[in-house]
Amino acid sequence: MKKQRLVVAGSGSTYTMGMMMSLIEEKERFPLKEVVFYDIDEQRQERNAKATQILFQEQYPELESFSYTTNKEEAFKEADFVFVQIRTGGLAMREQDEQIALKHGVVGQETCGPGGMAYGLRSIRDMIQLVYDIRQYAPEAWILNYTNPAAIVADALKREFPHDYRLLNICDMPIAIMISYAKILDVDVWDLVPEYFGLNHFGWFTKIYDKEGNDHTERLKQLIIETGFTPEDTEIANDVSWQKTFEQARQMLIDFPEFLPNTYLQYYLYPEDMVEKEDPNHTRARQVIEGRQKRVHDTCDQMIEKGTAKGADLHVDIHGVFMIKAAASLAYNSGQRFIVIVENNGVITNLPDDAMVEVPCLLTSQGAKPLVVGEIPTFYKGLIEGQLAYEKLVVESYFENNKQKLIQALTLNRTVVNVKKAKAIVEDLIVANKGYWPNYE
Ligand code: G6P
Ligand code: MN
């Protein structure tokens, strides 16, 4: 097995340490010779890097080299894989996005509605630049991107790099939901075989099989409705906000029992209830700053002080394991099946070819090979078409420097609808995103 040189771009992330634990857990299946951290924020990167150095010394002695840098050439030269997890504007801008939307009485969320639009317009510019930078030094590297909002980012990258099959957009939500299915069904999550369709953060599981072909779908639905639905991955299991989200997914299933919904649909199907649940002075960004970020920073600081990872509060998380298993399938051409984001091209027959859809794919050395979904029922098609138009308008607005398209986008978005609100939100977001967004006239 060829050993890989992996670069983590955006290594200052609060998810990095979980990812490093996952690399250790998966080292037999995805062996590494070198890990390189890349970030533009030296300070955030350094804390994670110093802790990782200690962790790898103790638990990954086979690794030939670990380093961290803010230099693109040093980072990307000879890379086999680049995992990209950047957040333009950081959690501070996430908080702005959430609060501005809530101030106007609509959903304030990282990837949904006005917040998703704001973040999308910030991410596009940096993601395009980053992909050019990676391609300059590593034309053949696999780029696994999970920068949000993945739907908008994927569409923009497809426009800019239409033939780059080694650039793949991935989200961990489907697998994070499947962990809960596995728990309910009392099976291993990797033994489940899902059928799924939609856009990123906007999709449905139509079937849940196991590897022997047994269909667990109806029993699973019944168990969720009767006994409840809770997050099970270590990263989110004890998080009150995620617990509420999974509870709401159960309600969605009661209201629309045909398919099993992605949790993010709650923001589009019950927007008023979501607004009511929020405290504008303590939105999700603040919770993450005080929760996950503080926990990760404290853990790293303690490791660095003690010089050991022993006893540290570090866990393998599904997000990391999923990315690594997907990477291994690409690297070793094993054609394993994962839900990822690809160009539709007839996979969902009654949606446009150029839509970036999230569907089960076989991951091979020639890229992601989507499996046929076929025709989807009218209700889902209608919902998806509205959301897809919103996403396309945001991306078009970016490339064409067209403010009117942002107002159209929010008018179409189920979290806003009202034109007066759409206009006011766009104006506020333009001010808040000065320096990050295109200069709209
Ligand atoms: C899931 C989604 C990600 C999203 C994250 C937010 O993992 O798939 O796209 O960024 O949740 O979680 P947080 O805990 O930061 O609100
Ligand atoms: Mn996601």
pLDDT in tens, 361-405: 999 999 999 999 999 999 999 999 999 999 999 999 999 999 999
What gap in Å lies between CA 10 and CA 14, rounded to an integer?
A: 10
Nearest CA to ligand 1 atom 11: 173
What gap in Å lies between CA 120 and CA 150, rounded to an integer?
A: 8
Give pLDDT, residue 119. 98
Pick the CATH number of 4-170+291-326 from 3.30.1330.20, 3.40.50.720, 1.10.1060.10, 3.30.1330.10: 3.40.50.720
Reported as a pLDDT band with limits 50, 70 and 90, residue 116 is: very high
**Beta-carbon neighbours within 5 Å of ion ligand 2:** 171, 173
Of 12, 33, 13, give the one whose Cα is nearest residue 23: 33
What number of other Cβ atoms are within 10 A of residue 163's Cβ?
Answer: 6
Nearest ligand, CA of residue 320?
1
Q: What is the DSSP string of 202-225?
A: EEEEEEEEETT--B-HHHHHHHHH
Paired tokens of 277: 């649940």
Active site amino acids: 172, 264
In this prediction, does ipTM exceed 0.95?
yes
Mean pLDDT of the chain: 98
With 80 as the cut, is the pLDDT of residue 112 above it? yes
Reported as a pLDDT band with limits 50, 70 and 90, residue 348 is: very high
Of 119, 188, 186, 190, give the one whose Cα is nearest residue 148: 119
Question: 329-353 burial by CB neighbour count: b if 16+ within 10 A, else e?
Answer: bbbbeeebebbbbbbbeebbeebee
Q: What is the mean pLDDT of residues 293-303?
A: 98
Give pLDDT, residue 339. 98
Give pLDDT, residue 441. 76
| DSSP helix/strand/coil, 35 | strand
Nearest ligand, CA of residue 175?
1
What gap in Å lies between CA 389 and CA 410, rounded to an integer?
A: 10
Q: Would the annotation count 295 as a binding residue?
A: no
With 80 as the cut, is the pLDDT of residue 202 above it? yes
Whole-angstrom Cα Rg for the chain: 21
pTM of the shown model: 0.98
What is the distance of C-alpha 320 from the center of its chain? 11
The letter for the amino acid at 171 is C
Helix orientation angle between 294-306 and 16-25, rounded to the nearest 10 degrees: 60
With 90 as the cut, is the pLDDT of residue 38 above it? yes
Reported as a pLDDT band with limits 50, 70 and 90, residue 297 is: very high
Q: Which of 19, 85, 148, 232 to mutate to test the pocket of ligand 1 (most atoms within 8 A of CB)?
A: 148
Q: What percentage of the chain exceeds 70 in pLDDT?
A: 100
Reported as a pLDDT band with limits 50, 70 and 90, residue 129 is: very high
CA of 101 to the centre of ligand 1 (A): 18
Q: Would the annotation count 148 as a binding residue?
A: yes
Pocket-forming residues, ligand 1, beta carbon under 6 Å: 110-111, 148, 171-173, 176, 284, 288
Give pLDDT, residue 3. 98
pLDDT in tens, 55-71: 999 999 999 999 999 99
Nearest ligand 1 atom to alpha carbon 284: 16
The domain segmentation of the chain, as residue ranges, is 4-170+291-326, 378-432
Q: Would the annotation count 250 as a binding residue?
A: no
* Helix/strand/coil percent split, the chain, to 5: 50, 15, 35
Nearest ligand, CA of residue 95?
1
Helix orientation angle between 318-331 and 16-25, rounded to the nearest 10 degrees: 50
Nearest CA to ligand 1 atom 6: 110
Distances (CA, A) of 247 to 99, 266, 314: 24, 10, 27
Angle (CA) 123-420-198 rounded to 5° is: 45
With 90 as the cut, is the pLDDT of residue 189 above it? yes
With 80 as the cut, is the pLDDT of residue 174 above it? yes
- Is the bond into 194 cis (omega within 30 degrees of 0)? no
